[in-house]
Copies of this chain bind each other. A is one copy, B any other.
Amino acid sequence: MTDDSIANHGSAPATVDEFRERLTQITPDLPRRLRQCADYIAAHSDRIAVSTVAELAAGADVPPSALMRFCQIIGFSGFSEMQKLFREAYAPGWPDYSTRLRNLKEGGAGSPAALLAEFIEAGRLSLESLAKTVDETALADAVQTLSKAETIHVVGFRRAFPVASYLVYVFEKMSVPAMLHDGVGKLDHRFALRPGDAVLAITFAPYSEETLTLAQDARDRGLPVIGLTDRVTSPLARTSSAIITVPEVDFGAFRSLSATIALALSLAVAVGSARE
Contact residues of A with B, CB < 8 Å? 20, 42-47, 49-51, 87, 90-91, 93-102, 104, 107, 110-113, 115-120, 122-124, 127-128, 130-132, 134, 136, 139-140, 142-143, 158-159, 161-163, 165-166, 169-170, 173, 184, 252-254, 256-259, 261-263, 265-267, 269-270, 273
Contact = CB atoms under 8 A, between A and B. Distances in A.
Contacts of A101: 131
Nearest to A159: B169
Nearest to A257: B261
A29 B140 CA distance: 60
Nearest to A161: B165
B266 A261 contact: no
Copies in the complex: 2
B113 A123 contact: no
Contacts of A184: 184
A83 to B, nearest CB: 9
B127 A104 contact: no
Given A46-B94, A159-B166, 17 more contacts: A46-B98, A94-B128, A97-B128, A111-B140, A113-B134, A113-B136, A113-B139, A113-B140, A115-B269, A116-B139, A117-B131, A119-B262, A120-B131, A122-B262, A161-B169, A162-B162, A261-B261
A157 B269 CA distance: 20
Contacts of A124: 124, 127-128
Contact of A267 (B112, B131, B162, B170): B112
Minimum-distance CB pairs A-B, first 3: A162-B162, A115-B266, A116-B266
A128 B94 CA distance: 7
Given A161-B169, A269-B115, A130 B139 contact: no
